[in-house]
Amino acid sequence: MISGGAGFIGSHLCRALLDRDCQVVVLDNLLTSRRANLDGLEGRPGFEFSKHDVSLDVRVDGPVDLVLHLASPASPVDFPAFPIQIVKVGTLGTHNLLGLARAKGARFLLASTSEVYGDPLVHPQPESYWGNVNPIGPRGCYDEAKRCAEAFTMAYHRAHGLDTRIARIFNTYGPGMRHDDGRVVPNFITQALAGQPLTIYGSGSQTRSLCYVDDLVRGLLAVLDSDENLPFNVGNPEEITILELARTIITATGSRSEIVFGDRPEDDPERRRPDISRARELLGWEPRISLAAGLELTLPYFRNLAA
Ligand code: UDP
């Protein structure tokens, strides 16, 4: 059972689970996800979709072995649009799905986020870092809901012995993102392909570390398959400034777009890079796909959307 299975990462994870011969039931209210992400999966044996908001309640008939909680709007442009839904799905939704996992005796995986580190004062970020989060800022709805989701997950593990996993997902990109997702990779690619200026927020000296979705999904499955209840960072440690990223995308697309500079959003983290030593050591997992290779795999999808 996978909440948010029609989302960008969720739909890739569904495909990987079907490839493992799992039966997959998606619960998704399609608030920021798209049924079209499931094209190609809907006809496959063992796949089922149900339009449902997991913040309300969750009832599933029959046995369930795995409960994977990926549902949540996750782009910074979603934060002002859906702040209450985001807090609810991270808190009430997590509680409902933990309850389902407990009732069914299922393993539970929480898709957490690098946002639990906020605007980090430690770089790169290991899982042992507690973070630097503004609870009342524009990102607080997402960051604090995910921090609460982690606390809920550990509480169920400690109080009920629930078999839980936590993956902290860092910036991820690839086919299946909305063209108007608002995050930096879809924005820059869409702008470059249209010959429009690439919009850098601030000077572009802020950094991110971008993981191609196939690597990320492999990482999530490795977390799921492990025996470790404490969180894992899952992301690519290849760090790049946003200005370098803009130039890389202009070159990769062969675009003549210029770069323009605008205001920096409030509480926009300055630097972000996962320390993935724990995943390397305990899971034998690390990303394999470079940014250059990942962009090559992503561009045809956005060219299609633009056509
Ligand atoms: N950003 C940008 N231009 C855009 C979109 C994003 O300069 O059109 C910057 C944003 O300010 C942030 C970084 O790119 O510093 C990554 O933003 P994104 O929305 O992808 O995700 P975040 O990592 O902030 O959650």
26-43: per-residue pLDDT in tens? 999 999 999 999 999 999
pLDDT for the residue numbered 157: 98
Q: Which two tokens stand for residue 188?
A: 């820059």
pLDDT for the residue numbered 179: 87
- Residue with CA closest to ligand 1 atom 19: 183
Q: How far apart are CA 153 and CA 229, in angstroms?
A: 9
Looking at the chain, how many residues does it have? 307
Where along the chain do its domains lie? 2-173+211-236
Kindly provide the b/e burial profile for residues 226-249, where b requires at least 16 CB atoms within 10 angstroms of the residue's own CB.
Answer: eeeeebbbbbbbbbbbbbebbeeb
pLDDT for the residue numbered 53: 98
Ligand 1 neighbourhood includes 76 CB (under 6 angstroms) = yes
Side chain identity at residue 227, one-letter code: D
Domain 2-173+211-236 is of which CATH architecture?
A: 3-Layer(aba) Sandwich (3.40)
Q: Could you list the beta-strand ranges (E) of 61-206.
A: 66-69, 107-113, 164-169, 172-173, 198-201
End-to-end CA distance of the chain: 35
Ligand 1 neighbourhood includes 172 CB (under 6 angstroms) = no
Residue 157: what are its φ and ψ, rounded to 5°? -65, -45
Look up the pTM and report it. Answer: 0.98
Ligand 1, pocket-test mutation among 183, 189, 206, 241, most atoms within 8 A of CB: 183
DSSP 8-state symbol, 231: -
Q: Above 90 in pLDDT, residue 306?
A: no
Residue 179: what are its φ and ψ, rounded to 5°? -65, -25
Ligand 1 neighbourhood includes 113 CB (under 6 angstroms) = no
pLDDT for the residue numbered 76: 95
Of 101, 121, 117, which Cα lies nearest the Cα of 109? 101
Model confidence pLDDT, tens digit, residues 83-137: 999 999 999 999 999 999 999 999 999 999 999 999 999 999 999 999 999 999 9
Ligand 1, pocket-test mutation among 242, 249, 261, 291, most atoms within 8 A of CB: 242
pLDDT band for position 307 (50/70/90)? confident
Residue whose pair of structure tokens reads 């972000």 in the numeric block: 272
Q: Above 90 in pLDDT, residue 49?
A: yes
Q: How far is CA 156 from the centre of its chain?
A: 23
Ligand 1 neighbourhood includes 206 CB (under 6 angstroms) = yes
DSSP 8-state symbol, 37: G
User: 10 C-alpha vs ligand 1 centroid, how far in Å?
Assistant: 21
Of 71, 69, 47, 50, which Cα lies nearest the Cα of 59? 50
Q: Which two tokens stand for residue 279?
A: 């995943």
Q: Could you list the beta-strand ranges (E) of the chain.
A: 2-3, 24-28, 47-51, 66-69, 107-113, 164-169, 172-173, 198-201, 207-209, 211-212, 232-234, 239-241, 259-262
Ligand 1 neighbourhood includes 268 CB (under 6 angstroms) = yes
Catalytic (active site) residue 142 = yes
